[in-house]
Amino acid sequence: MRLSRYFMPILKENPKEAEIVSHRLMLRTGMIKQQSAGIYTWLPLGKRVLDKVNAIIREEQNRSGAIELLMPTLQSAELWQESGRYDAYGKEMLRIKDRQDRPMLYGPTNEEMITDVFRSYVKSYKDLPLNLYHIQLKFRDEIRPRFGTMRSREFLMKDAYSFDLTREGAEHAYNRMFAAYLRTFTRLGLRAIPMRADTGPIGGNLSHEFIILADTGESEVFCHKEFLDFDIPGEDTNFDDVAGLKAIFDKWTSRYAATSEMHDEAAFNAIPEAERVSARGIEVGHIFYFGTKYSEAMGAKVQGPDGKEHTVHMGSYGIGPTRLVPAIIEASHDENGIIWPRSVAPFEVVVINMKVGDAACDAACESLYTALSRAGVDVLLDDKDERAGTKFATADLIGAPFQVIVGPRSVAAGEVEVKDRKTGERETLTVEAAIARLTARD
């Protein structure tokens, strides 16, 4: 992308309404724009990050065996009356009447609808296990939306739903998602810690929140220090291996970890003081096993191997991409701006033309831009006629992992400077060596 043709409205001033650093940086870099309270446009730079986050979530969902579909945002009230949640769900549910005066709602979650999909088609245990997910907008009418897209009203959620014949099967489905989530957050550059959690309005009896530690987190969390070093399941994880996944789950639940709602002061204090972590955290995922709560109420049954009807066991598994983006920023920034992990960076490299119009600089920039783009690297070419200071500040602010500085003096020697945004290290390389360095992914 050439900056001269891009739409990346950088704000010069820090926006006053932003209370936390991610919100401030997302506004300043032109990633998002508020349209109404808790409702945002994702501007081009933000959209690029969101797409990459979604792509990683999707890859790991697919790897674990989950299957993608897309349910609509609007739901009929009838479905929710079946489960009993229509009245139980409070004012957070946005209730709507259509032109025929039929009661509808903007889905805050999809347990009812997916159960309806399931019961419409699946009749035999032979079609199980099944895990269906979508990445779709949700609406929750928060009384106090804040922190930008961290706590918004219209937000994106990846929600997966598992269906199994037995409780044991459902536990394996739970462990699959547990492992998939560990992999997902790691690929996003985050260390997330699973913590026993309250099941809230979803219901059920087994639930973990995945929490990343950040000073601006809304929840107070408590855990054992060892979590910071536990191994993450590898790319070769066999998601059909019941015992293998159970071992991952056991390992990652073997030490104390709890949000304040579930906190057990005595158990926590039993940990040697040096190994206690007491911090603030951001919830980035939440998984639930709730047995037959919805399948029972809505008649989701299959014929078992015994020829009898069995009510299926279900779980649901959420990740919020529109919350993950600010969460990653909270975890990775400095006083100059964002420091994106390469996996989700809107641009992996910014090529900075220090003297637009200078034939040698222009040519070197074009050759870098073309070579990197062809190699599949997302490059932003800063071809705007602006002061060096502005260009450097912008490149730091938007947080691309690498900057390539192309100035007349170094270009005359056939060289460019490559700066690592995270470490600040600079290296002078030939154009060819710079291309080789930047196309080599870890």
Q: Is 9 exposed, middle or buried (0-12, 13-18, 19+ CB in 10 A)?
A: middle
Q: Which stretch binds its own copies (CB under 8 A): 65-73, 190-198, 270-278, 286-294?
A: 65-73
Nearer to its own copies, 65 or 244 (CB): 65
Backbone phi, then psi, for 363, in 5-degree steps? -65, -45
Q: In whole angstroms, what is the distance from residue 341 CA to residue 154 CA? A: 26
Residue 206 found at the interface with its own copies (CB under 8 A)? no
Contact 333, 26 (CB under 8 A): no
Binding segment (CB under 8 A) for its own copies, from list 136-144, 230-238, 408-416, 427-435: 136-144
125 lines the binding site for its own copies (CB under 8 A)? no
What is the 8-class DSSP label of residue 440? -
Q: How many CA atoms, within 13 angstroms, populate the side-chain half-sphere of residue 56?
A: 26
Using the structure block, give the residue that is written with the tokens 């929140």. Answer: 209
Contact flag: residue 213 with its own copies (CB under 8 A): no
Q: Which of 139, 178, 290, 317 binds its own copies (CB under 8 A)?
A: 139
Using CB under 8 A as the binding rule, the residues of this chain from 6 to 35 that contact its own copies are 6-7, 9, 30, 33, 35
The CB-based long-range contact list for 3-9 (8 Å cut-off, 24+ gap) reads 3/380, 3/381, 3/382, 3/383, 3/384, 4/383, 4/384, 6/44, 6/380, 7/43, 7/44, 8/43, 8/44, 8/45, 8/398, 9/43
Measured CA to CA, the distance from residue 20 to residue 215 in angstroms comes to 10
Residues 116, 294 contacting (CB under 8 angstroms): no
Count the site residues for its own copies by CB under 8 A.
Answer: 54
- Please state the closest distance from residue 301 (CB atom) to its own copies, in A: 16
Near its own copies by CB under 8 A: residue from 94, 180, 328, 345? 94
Question: Looking at 18, 96, 242, 279, which residue binds its own copies (CB under 8 A)?
Answer: 96
108 binds its own copies (CB under 8 A): no
Are residues 210 and 259 in contact, defined by beta-carbon separation less than 8 angstroms?
Answer: no
Which one of the spans 118-126, 165-173, 362-370, 418-426 is the region binding its own copies (CB under 8 A)?
118-126
The one among 26, 53, 130, 364 contacting its own copies by CB under 8 A: 130
Amino acid symbol at 104: M
Beta bridge partners of 211: 193, 283
* Least distance from its own copies to the Cβ atom of residue 152, Å: 9
Residues 245-274 that bind its own copies (CB under 8 A): none
**Is there binding between residue 160 and its own copies (CB under 8 A)?**
no
Considering only the stretches 95-103, 245-253, 374-382, 388-396, report the one whose residues sit in contact with its own copies under the rule CB under 8 A.
Answer: 95-103
Q: By CB under 8 A, tell whether 80 contacts its own copies.
A: no
CA distance 148 to 327: 11
| Binding piece for its own copies, criterion CB under 8 A, among 94-102, 245-253, 281-289, 397-405 | 94-102
**CB of 64: closest distance to its own copies in angstroms?**
12
Q: How far apart are CA 323 and CA 239, in angstroms?
A: 27
Q: Which is nearer to its own copies, 156 or 192 (CB)?
A: 156
Residue whose CB is less far from its own copies, 15 or 360 = 15
In the complex, what is the shortest distance from the CB of residue 157 to its own copies, in angstroms, rounded to a whole number? 14
Tokens of 143: 């009384």
Task: By CB under 8 A, tell whether 75 contacts its own copies.
Answer: yes
C-alpha span between 215 and 148 (Å, rounded) = 16
Structure tokens that stand for 269 in this block:
């204090």
Give the interface with its own copies as residue ranges (CB under 8 A).
5-7, 9, 30, 33, 35-37, 39-44, 46-47, 50, 65, 67-76, 91-92, 94, 96, 98-100, 102, 104, 106, 113, 116-117, 120-122, 127, 130, 132, 137, 139, 141, 143, 153-154
